Structure 1
C-alpha cells in the first residue's frame, strides 16, 4: 500500500482493489487469530473502554484516566489500605493534610460531571489506626551486669 490513490478514482474502490490484490498474493494467510471470531462483538463500543483496555494491555496505570473526584476516591482507598507503610505519625499527618487540601480544592471548583462524594480523612483517627498497625517495640536487650571484682582480685597474675 505504498502507492497513492489515483485521481478520479473513488477511495472505496481503490482500497478494495488494494485489499483484493494483497489477498491474491497471500499476504493475509497465516495471520494470528485467522478463522476465529472477533472478540467483544456482542458489547457496545465505547471509546473510553477501548482506551482503558489498550492502556492495561500496554501496562499503563489507568487511574490517570479517571475524573478527579474518582481519582481522589481511589487514592483514599489506597491510602487507608496502605496506612501501615508510612514511617511515622508525622508522615501520617502530612499525607492526611495533603489529601484533605486536595479534596477541599475539588469541592471549590465546579463539578465536571455527576457529584462524587469524597470524605475527608480524620488525622487523629488515622494516627491511632497507624499506631495499632505498628509492631510493638521490641524490649531492649537485658544489659549485661558488669562483674564487680574486688580490689584484691585486680592485681596482675604472676
Structure 2
C-alpha cells in the first residue's frame, strides 16, 4: 500500500482543480508576457506601474523615498523656518523607518535616517544664518 502526504495547500489546489476553478482563466493557452525576451532588472517596477495604472513618472514609494532623500537640500531650502525643516526631516525619517521594515511598496531600502541637526546646520548655512538658534 502506497501512502503519500498531501499538504493542506496541495489539498486545496487539488479540490479547486476538481471543481474546475482553474478552467477558462484569462491568459489560458497564451505565452507568458516577456517569455523568451532579454532579462530586465526592472521588470517588477514596470509590472507594478502597469498593475497600478501608474504613468512613466510614477515610482513605488520606497524608490520615491530614495529620490526624496537625494533632493533633500533643495526641498528644505524652500522651508520657511527651522521648525519646518525639523518637521520635514522627522516625517522623512518616519517614511525611511517604514521602508526599512518593509511597510512601503517597492524594493527594500537600507537608507539611513537623516540627522536633523546636520540638515538644519546646512539649511542655516545656506541662508547665511549663524549664531544661536
Relative contact order: is structure 1 or structure 2 higher (C-alpha 8 Å, sep ≥ 6)? 2
TM-score (norm 1): 0.43
Rg (Cα) greater in structure: 1
TM (norm. structure 2) is: 0.50
